[in-house]
Amino acid sequence: MAKIEAPELTGKIITPKVKTGASKDLKVFLAKPELMTKVSFPSEKPADWKEKFIENFGVILNKYKSVRVFLDICVRCGACTDKCHFYLGTGDPRNMPVYRQELMRTVYRKYFTTGGKLFGSLGAAQEITDELLDEWMTYFYQCSECRRCSVFCPYGIDTAEITMAARELLDSIGMGSKYNLEIVNKAETLGNNLGMPGPAIRNTLDFVEEDIKEKSNVDVKLPMDVEGADILFVTPSADFFASPHIESLAGYAKVFHQAGASWTMSSYASEGGNFGMFIGNYNHMKAINARIWKAARELKVKRVIVGECGHAWRVLYAFSNSLNGPFDFLDSRYRVPQHICEYTLDLIKRGALKFDKTANDQFSVTYHDSCNVARATRMGETPGDQFTIPREIIRTVCNKFVDMDADTIGDRTFCCGGGGGTLTDELIDIRVKGAMPRMQALKRVKDSHNVNFFALICAICKAQFTKVFPYYGIDMEEVGGVHQLVSNAIILGAKEGI
Amino acid sequence: MNGLSSVINLLAYVAATIFVLGFLNKVVLYFKTPSPLKIATTPAPTNSVGVVLRLVPEVLFFRSLLRGGTAEKILWVGGWFFHVSFLLIILRHLRMFVYPVPGWIMSFQQIGIWAGLIFPIALLILIVRRFTNDRLAVISLFQDYFVLLLIIAIGLTGLLLKYFVRTNLVDVKSFILGLFSVSPAQVPASPLFLIHFSLVLILLVYFPFSKLMHAWGVLISPARAQADNPREVRNVAPWAQ
Amino acid sequence: MPNLEVEGKSYEVDEEGYLMDWQNWNEAIAAAMAKQDGLELSQSHWEVIKFLREYFEKYQIAPMIKILTKEIGKVLGPEKGNTKYLYELYPAGPAKQACRYAGLPKPTGCV
Ligand code: HEM
Ligand code: SF4
Ligand code: SF4
Ligand code: SF4
């Protein structure tokens, strides 16, 4: 493998000149036939794949208004072209959102539009071929479904919708991504993306309990499978396995402990994330999501709270109700579901949590808006609370906080470069490059405010940045969760009423 | 009525029919295609009044475009002045479609003349940027140049008719009124007018089959026209039940 | 499917060189994989591998990294019970590189 060169950290995000084919060789591994079968897709490309492809395309057009309308109305104004971190990082024109869409639009014209049928290539309509499928397989897995392009498009055209539809189409003719489908399969059969059996999770929870006990001499419990608890807490399985994720797990537990809450996790629904979304497959997304609501019923909880994970929050906040609602068996006084940040800030506002901010004094903190939270969901009551709530928490537990440049946060935030099913080793090259805009913005606050803690609330972002920071010469331990900061500063012990 | 007049009158009806039915067909198709999931690009308003308030500045001022960088600022100037002058020109044309002409139409006459002059300049900006910016050069297709050239040709033939090759407006008006009242009349004896008019017919026919459907799409784009209330309101597509 | 040849025997591995069947593992495989990466396995490397396999046998998954560091601290001394030391041993990441040498499947997910 060629050595990966990270872009130089200058603090400036410069739009590159077009470099055709710059990232054409960065591809995901294909799923093997056995794996395809396990997740109910054709094991390989059938002889009549073209007919199948066109037929399935038609089905998608009839099912999703987004795909149909977006394919029709793009005026190729170019406003999105330099908004994608993967274009900014590589200069490959296929990573310009509109030109990524063009891979699908050209086929759409051929089979589904009057102009394409009448004028063919003059109308930029192309037949689907093996070569074109190969390009699909490459560039629709170089999109992190982050929706940044949608923000700047005069019609809100969201390339993530096109990417999801494209992956669904590819899967439907036997062409899948090993990484994504393995995870879908594990989530559906074992209950989480990592394939962690219940006893292994319990072992980790015990470890965290002991760790807290050793450090603070307080018995903070991390309960699992407790029937009759009030709260079912669902978090990405990475929180049971990876660093720095695990630090936030301790943070959630301490918050619940101080609140005196009756809570539990579930070994059956031990995953907040949902790769069914990344591959654009409604049924898989629904099946993975269904485990959570089944667990909620079986454990007879009153409410569901979700841990730090961008796309988990999207699926749970925005899609759950459609997929597996209604949730009238839960207590209607609480929003269903709730984000852990909503919960924690609410406790803070009611004075139920006490902090020693100086515990975080070695940190100068900035906050990365994870794109799924920023552009696909909300927290709290008011649009935009998804930006203010995590920041308010950070300000409550830290003395030093600074935001990155305004055009790189909020709904204009840059993706970490590893979202949407691209967080796999074979794509590390594009992940390093895709992180460039975010890294430049970070560099600026590092220079101006000595930032040394990069706080965020997304499991994928955490994994991606820990991996990518060293390429840019930054210590991977500078990445951490918001509840990691909470965990550091929270004062355990005597409760002062709630 | 001569043969040419019959043909032009017929073509006008055909074009208008294709435009109306084609447009309605797309509107119905978009309406019938469900949105199984809530996908508003957030922060988004939480109710339908909010959605309208979100869309108004998008339609009137291309608000999202304004959030971009320099390239989008140039585009905004070209695009906004193009659309507004296009609208004003149409309003100015209305005086030829009705009799008697109501006062409000008359009030657009002067500004409509200015719009006619700004129109080709704005379109020129839109064309030039397509081949001078390397990213746009890659994404631009034949049809992108085609509509721009078609519309600029309509504008320029219009200007010629107004300033250089004057036509008898009385003939034009009787022809147009004839069309609207379905009592076909003689076409004006001006080749330039016929070119101007034919180009408009081509635009009408082209419209529903092209990206020009963005005029409707901007109002119903799921990322913008949905309310952000998935926790409160359950949304299920019929196929997903 | 690619294969790894060790001492005249052939073992199935995936695209990234992870053993397909963790039960087929033996120490020679680990040594061979390390050699390909230009690494000489020391006693400390072997302690990591040993613990990973024991843990996997019990839980069907590799241990969380902090569990690993704690264990290594116990066995090799507290000054070595940290992530930095593990990365010194396994520059490509303890979770991934060490798992590969230990014949375990790569942990994939949001990690
Ligand atoms: C609700 C009404 C409309 C809105 C909000 C709207 C908005 C926009 C925007 C934001 C652009 C991109 C900027 C640009 O390229 O100029 C655009 C492009 C364009 N619009 Fe519209 N539009 C509307 C109606 C129309 C109509 C009725 C036409 C009919 C001729 C039209 C023709 C065009 C053309 C030709 C372009 C492409 C310009 C280019 O290629 O650079 N639009 N429109
Ligand atoms: S910004 Fe929207 S309309 Fe413009 S090129 Fe991109 S997707 Fe098309
Ligand atoms: S969704 Fe994100 S990654 Fe995909 S094209 Fe748009 S900006 Fe790029
Ligand atoms: S991983 Fe995080 S930043 Fe990247 S796509 Fe997901 S939510 Fe966005």
Three-state SS sequence of A389-457: HHHHHHHHHCCCECCCCHHHCHHHCCCCCCCCCCCCHHHHHHHHHHCHHHHHHHHHHHHHHCCCEEEEC
pLDDT score, position A335: 95
Residue of B6, B34, B8, B2 whose CA lies nearest to B238: B34
Residue A213 to chain B, least CA–CA distance (Å): 37
Within a domain: residue B39?
Answer: no
Torsion of CA A272, A278, A280, A281, to 10 degrees: -50
Contact of A161 with A70, CB cutoff 8 Å? yes
Nearest CA to ligand 2 atom 4: A77
Within a domain: residue B150?
Answer: no
Cis peptide before B43 (omega within 30 of 0): yes
Phi, psi of C14 (to 5 degrees): -90, -175
For chain B, give the mean pLDDT.
Answer: 96
b/e per residue A134-151 (b: at least 16 CB within 10 A) = eebbbbbbbbbbbbbbbb
pLDDT score, position C93: 85
- Compute, in angstroms, the gap from residue A240 CA to the centroid of ligand 4: 19
One-letter identity of residue A128: I
Q: How far apart are CA A362 and CA A359, in angstroms?
A: 8
Please report which confidence band the pLDDT of residue B99 belongs to, taking 50, 70 and 90 as the band edges.
confident
In Å, what is the CA distance from A129 to each residue of A11, A41, A51, A107, A110?
A: 42, 20, 12, 10, 12
Q: How far is CA B208 from the centre of its chain?
A: 10
- Give the number of C-alpha atoms closer than 13 A to the C-alpha of residue B171, restricted to the C-beta side: 11
Q: How far apart are CA B93 and CA B75, in angstroms?
A: 26
- Give the number of C-alpha atoms closer than 13 A to the C-alpha of residue A225, restricted to the C-beta side: 8
Whether B16 and B61 map to the same domain: the answer is no
Phi, psi of A105 (to 5 degrees): -65, -35
Contact of B54 with B45, CB cutoff 8 Å? yes
Q: Quick one: tokens of A92?
A: 């490959």
Question: From the list A317, A374, A387, which residue is nearest B231 (CB)?
Answer: A317
Q: How far apart are CA A332 and CA B172, in angstroms?
A: 67
What secondary structure letter does DSSP report for A53? Answer: H
CATH (domain of C11): 1.10.10.370
Helix (H) or strand (E) holding A234: strand A231-234
Contact A325 B234 (CB under 8 A): yes
- Compute, in angstroms, the gap from residue B215 CA to the centroid of ligand 1: 7
In Å, what is the CA distance from C27 to each residue of B175, C23, C31, C39?
A: 94, 12, 6, 14
Q: How far apart are CA B91 and CA B109, in angstroms?
A: 8
Residue A194 to chain C, least CA–CA distance (Å): 5
Flag whether residue A278 sits within 8 Å of chain C, measured between CB atoms: no
Within a domain: residue B103?
Answer: yes
Is A367 in a helix, a strand, or coil? Answer: strand
DSSP secondary structure letters along B95-127: GGTSSSPPHHHHTTHHHHHHHHHHHHHHHHHHH
Q: How far apart are CA A116 and CA A125, in angstroms?
A: 5
pLDDT score, position A497: 46
pLDDT score, position A392: 98
Residue C59 to chain A, least CA–CA distance (Å): 5
Helices B191-206 and B3-32, packing angle to 10 deg: 20
Q: What is the pLDDT along chain A (498 residues), one digit of tens a residue?
A: 457 889 999 999 999 999 999 999 999 999 999 999 999 999 999 999 999 999 999 999 999 999 999 999 999 999 999 999 999 999 999 999 999 999 999 999 999 999 999 988 888 999 999 999 999 999 999 999 999 999 999 999 999 999 999 999 999 999 999 999 999 999 999 999 999 999 999 999 999 999 999 999 999 999 999 999 999 999 999 999 999 999 999 999 999 999 999 999 999 999 999 999 999 999 999 999 999 999 999 999 999 999 999 999 999 999 999 999 999 999 999 999 999 999 999 999 999 999 999 999 999 999 999 999 999 999 999 999 999 999 999 999 999 999 999 999 999 999 999 999 999 999 999 999 999 999 999 999 999 999 999 999 999 999 999 999 999 999 999 999 999 999 999 999 865 544
Cis peptide before A337 (omega within 30 of 0): yes
Q: CB neighbours (10 Å) of residue B131?
A: 11
Q: What is the pLDDT along chain C (111 residues), one digit of tens a residue?
A: 688 999 999 999 999 999 999 999 999 999 999 999 999 999 999 999 999 999 999 999 999 989 999 999 999 999 999 988 999 999 988 888 999 999 999 988 988
- Give the number of C-alpha atoms closer than 13 A to the C-alpha of residue A56, restricted to the C-beta side: 20
- Residue written as token pair 């039915």: B21
Burial class (CB in 10 A: 0-12, 13-18, 19+), A167: buried
- The structural domain count of chain B equals 2
Nearest CA to ligand 1 atom 17: B79
Q: How far apart are CA A472 and CA A493, in angstroms?
A: 41
For ligand 3, pick from A67, A87, A149 the residue to mutate: most ligand atoms within 8 Å of CB. Answer: A149
Q: Quick one: tokens of A108?
A: 């759409």
- Touch between B and C (at least 3 CB pairs under 8 Å): no
The one catalytic residue among C1, C16, C43, C110: C110
Model pTM score: 0.96
Q: What residue numbers bound the domain in which B193 lies?
A: 1-33+175-223
For residue A99, give the chain B residue with the closest CA.
B139
Whether B55 and B24 map to the same domain: the answer is no
Q: What residue numbers bound the domain in which C51 lies?
A: 3-101
What is the dihedral sign for C-alpha B122, B124, B127, B133? negative
- Give ligand 1 pocket residues (Cβ under 6 A): A 75, 77, 154; B 59, 62, 65, 75, 78-79, 82-83, 86, 126, 144, 147-148, 151, 212, 214-215, 218
Within a domain: residue B105?
Answer: yes
Helix spans in chain C (H): 27-36, 43-59, 65-76, 83-89, 99-101
Edge-first strand order for the sheet with A479-481 is A365-367, A453-456, A479-481
pLDDT score, position B19: 98
What is the dihedral sign for C-alpha A199, A200, A205, A209? positive
Any bridge partners for residue C12, and if so which?
C3
Residues A308, A312, A317, CA angle at the centre, nearest 5°?
100
One-letter identity of residue A135: E
Whether B65 and B99 map to the same domain: the answer is yes
Within a domain: residue C48?
Answer: yes
Within a domain: residue B135?
Answer: yes
Question: From the list C64, C66, C111, which residue is nearest A463 (CB)?
Answer: C111
Q: Which atom of ligand 1 is nearest to the CA of A76?
A: 40
- Touch between C and A (at least 3 CB pairs under 8 Å): yes
Contact of B39 with B222, CB cutoff 8 Å? yes
Q: How far apart are CA A102 and CA A451, in angstroms?
A: 40
DSSP secondary structure letters along C66-94: HHHHHHHHHHH-GGG-SHHHHHHH-TT-I
Nearest CA to ligand 4 atom 5: A419
pLDDT score, position A495: 59
Spatial neighbors of B232 by CB under 8 A, at least 6 apart, are none
Strand bridging mode A263-264 / C9-12: unpaired
Within a domain: residue B58?
Answer: yes
Residue C32 to chain A, least CA–CA distance (Å): 19
Q: Which long-range contacts (CB under 8 A, 24 or more apart) does B189-193 make?
A: B190/B161, B190/B165, B192/B157, B192/B160, B192/B161, B192/B165, B192/B167, B193/B161, B193/B167
Within a domain: residue B155?
Answer: no
- Compute, in angstroms, the gap from residue A370 CA to the centroid of ligand 4: 5
Q: Which chains touch B (3 or more CB pairs under 8 A)?
A: A
For chain A, state the CA radius of gyration: 23
Residue of A61, A274, A33 whose CA lies nearest to A171: A33
Q: Which long-range contacts (CB under 8 A, 24 or more apart) does B129-137 make?
A: B129/B71, B129/B74, B129/B75, B129/B78, B133/A78, B133/B71, B134/A17, B134/A18, B135/A15, B135/A18, B135/A78, B135/A81, B135/A82, B135/A93, B135/A96, B135/B71, B136/A76, B136/A78, B136/A81, B136/B71
Using a CB-CB cut-off of 8 Å, the residues of chain C touching A463 are 110-111
Within a domain: residue B152?
Answer: no
Domain ranges of chain A: 33-183, 185-402+451-489
Using a CB-CB cut-off of 8 Å, the residues of chain A touching C96 are 425
Whether B87 and B20 map to the same domain: the answer is no
- The structural domain count of chain C equals 1
Residue C61 to chain A, least CA–CA distance (Å): 6
Using a CB-CB cut-off of 8 Å, the residues of chain A touching C110 are 193, 236-238, 242, 273, 309, 423, 459-460, 462-463
For ligand 1, pick from A72, A73, A74, A75 the residue to mutate: most ligand atoms within 8 Å of CB. Answer: A75
pLDDT score, position C84: 87
A33-183 classified as CATH 1.10.1060: yes
One-letter identity of residue A456: L
Q: Which chains touch C (3 or more CB pairs under 8 A)?
A: A
For ligand 3, pick from A23, A26, A86, A433 the residue to mutate: most ligand atoms within 8 Å of CB. Answer: A86
Q: Is C99 a catalytic residue?
A: no
Using a CB-CB cut-off of 8 Å, the residues of chain B touching A386 are 42-43
Helix spans in A91-197 (H): 97-112, 114-119, 130-139, 148-152, 159-172, 178-190
From its phi and psi, is residue C60 left (phi > 0), alpha (psi between -120 and 50) or beta? left
